[in-house]
Structure 1
Amino acid sequence: MKKLIYILAIALVFGCKNDTQTNGKLKVVTTTTMITDLVKNIGGDFIEVEGLMGSGVDPHLYKASEGDVTKLVNANIIFYNGLHLEGKLVEVFEKMERSNKTQVALGENLDKSQLIGSDYFASNYDPHVWFNIEFFKQFAKQVTKTLSEKDPKNAVNYIENEKNYLAKLSALESEVSSVINALPKEKRILVTAHDAFNYFGKNYDFEVVGLQGLSTATEAGVKDVRKLAEFIIENKIKAIFIESSVPKRTIEALVAAVKAKDHDVEIGGTLYSDALGNAGTLEGTYIGMFKYNVNTIVNALK
């Protein structure tokens, strides 16, 4: 990290470029796949977007490479989640505050009174805010505002794209509610690899239990597995879920622990939590990911 910070400092002094590229488009760098998808929907063909993280990448553990530093230095705008989700990038972002880069930590601008608190996470707030669609709408508004301010000649396009995307998010809310309403409330217990779904649970009346905590940097131990196995048996839970960005071995160990006590539990599928699916697939978009997750959860728990 010290080497990267040194490279960043040198690059900021000697490598900063003009406000736009030679082709006139803003250069935008994003962190998570959810934010990358959002910014592409708002910016369209009027910006150039580079996402640091790809499908299946865990943002809690992600470390910047020298290539990432170059992308950040050459960017006009940097959008990231904040709330310590990208914990290992915090030092890089702090160093860049001294430059003229426009950095927007989208989660930091949410109303803190609406966030889920945590005594066990660095920010004291659960950072997985994209599982509240209303929060994601606020992200969209922040992105539109920032792009419009930095590139006023295309502001009308950004605003139109925002309008269309917000309509899609509203339609998503209606569809998700309809699917979940088919699942009886007593069956709405969601057991996953780590605590990424608390906002989802709060909105749709699920009890959410993660084997690991809010950050995957904290490993689950034998005690955690045994305790959760007892919970699954007591509540007669029929399916639990792995996550695309978290190694599945801990959930497999949990299944084995439950079955060792003569209770039948299955892996209900893979959920997308901290990263979207592969680019070019339905799950590679925020809207597609949300639909896929909800259908997977409801079908497994019915």
Structure 2
Amino acid sequence: MKNIIIICIISLTFSGCKDTNKQNDKLNVVTTTSMITDLVSNIGGDAINLQGLMGSGVDPHLYKASEGDVTKLVNADLIFYNGLHLEGKLVEVFEKMEHQGVKTIAISDTLDKNTLIGSEYFASNYDPHIWFNIEYWEQVTTFVVHKLSEAIPSESSVFEENGQQYLDKLKELKEEITNTISSLPKEKRILVTAHDAFNYFGKSFDFEVVGLQGLSTATEAGVQDVQKLATFIIDNQVKAIFVESSVPKRTIEALQAAVKSKGHDVKIGGTLYSDALGNAGTVEGTYIGMFKYNVNTIVNALK
């Protein structure tokens, strides 16, 4: 119902009172998740006016646009979103905006769908957590450079230079975390988290990934799921399990209690950033900083 109201507001705003004044005459760009906001910020820099919808700790699976977000959306010239039904509750809004003349771009459109991990939890039938594959993020970087250059041809050289610098940083990131993970024996690479956000990470770095919930936080883990995973943890001698910053920690605490009830102990190894970055201004508030933090937290807890 709320999405229907938002769509109606957008329709009325476009038909009558969209604010066409651009701050500094720059393109108004809106992004959804904090990972995309960070990426577009690195590429667009001062050449665009950038606003992100979702901040630290916001779960995109359950996100609903506020009145302030509607204002951002209706005044946008370009909107970047993840796609693959990650922002499930905004799909109808984006479709409506496309019809109203705002260019909406799903960054996942640049990826070969045949390489994605399948998922029955999403209407797209794919796992949408694509940012945990660094090679995908490199492809997305090039895609965003291209789309911004199309929108503002006069700044294309700036976008291309910024994009190349960011690609260099992603290459360094991949090398650094590969070295860090190599210190963890393969038999210890079992990652148990609140929900299945890390499957692309697991595929890239040879981890077995087990989520208490499904790929979407809209699904809830039942008692049977908790007991089954508790047995798995004991059988595989998993030392630590992990909370996620955008998912309530009670599910992982329930899992820890279930393991303890069976006469075993498992520690909570820390909080991982899955569907959102950390607070702005912190190391974890950037994609690269988040990735390093997650890997260090995982490796240190499982050693």
TM-score (norm 1): 0.98
How far apart are the structure 1 equivalents of 2:285 and 2:121?
A: 30
Measure how far apart 1:17 and its partner are.
Answer: 5.2
How far apart are the structure 2 equivalents of 1:22 and 1:32?
A: 23
The aligned residue for residue 14 of structure 1 is 16
User: Is the 8 Å Cα contact of residues 15 and 73 (structure 1) preserved in structure 2?
Assistant: no
User: Is the 8 Å Cα contact of residues 28 and 76 (structure 2) preserved in structure 1?
Assistant: yes
Aligned residues: 301
Amino-acid identity (%): 70
How far apart are the structure 2 equivalents of 1:157 and 1:193?
A: 40
The aligned residue for residue 183 of structure 1 is 184
Matched, 1:113 2:118: no
How far apart are the structure 1 equivalents of 2:301 and 2:36?
A: 28
Q: Which moved more, 1:47-56 or 1:104-113?
A: 104-113
Segments of structure 2 that go 5 or more residues without pairing to the other structure are none
The aligned residue for residue 222 of structure 1 is 223
User: Is the 8 Å Cα contact of residues 33 and 81 (structure 2) preserved in structure 1?
Assistant: yes
How far apart are the structure 1 equivalents of 2:120 and 2:81?
A: 23
Measure how far apart 1:24 and its partner are.
Answer: 2.0
Deviations 1:82-116 (A, max 9, x none): 00000111111111110221111001331001100
RMSD of aligned residue pairs (Cα, Å): 1.0
The aligned residue for residue 5 of structure 2 is 3
User: Is the 8 Å Cα contact of residues 23 and 49 (structure 2) preserved in structure 1?
Assistant: no
Alignment of structure 1 residues 154-169 onto 2, 5 Å: 154-169=155-170
How far apart are the structure 1 equivalents of 2:29 and 2:179?
A: 36
The aligned residue for residue 78 of structure 1 is 79
Measure how far apart 1:183 and its partner are.
Answer: 0.4
Equivalent position amino acid for 1:125 in 2: Y
The aligned residue for residue 125 of structure 1 is 126
Measure how far apart 1:274 and its partner are.
Answer: 0.1
Alignment of structure 1 residues 37-48 onto 2, 5 Å: 37-48=38-49
How far apart are the structure 1 equivalents of 2:17 and 2:152?
A: 22
Q: Which moved more, 1:230-239 or 1:139-148?
A: 139-148
How far apart are the structure 2 equivalents of 1:288 and 1:236?
A: 30
Equivalent position amino acid for 1:237 in 2: V
Matched, 1:145 2:157: no
TM-score (norm 2): 0.97
Task: Give secondary structure in 2 for the equivalent of 1:23.
Answer: helix
Measure how far apart 1:11 and its partner are.
Answer: 1.0
The aligned residue for residue 298 of structure 1 is 299
Deviations 1:39-85 (A, max 9, x none): 00000111111000000000000001121111111011100000000
How far apart are the structure 2 equivalents of 1:109 and 1:214?
A: 21
Alignment of structure 1 residues 255-270 onto 2, 5 Å: 255-270=256-271
User: Is the 8 Å Cα contact of residues 15 and 74 (structure 1) preserved in structure 2?
Assistant: no
The aligned residue for residue 92 of structure 1 is 93
Equivalent position amino acid for 2:64 in 1: K
Segments of structure 1 that go 5 or more residues without pairing to the other structure are none
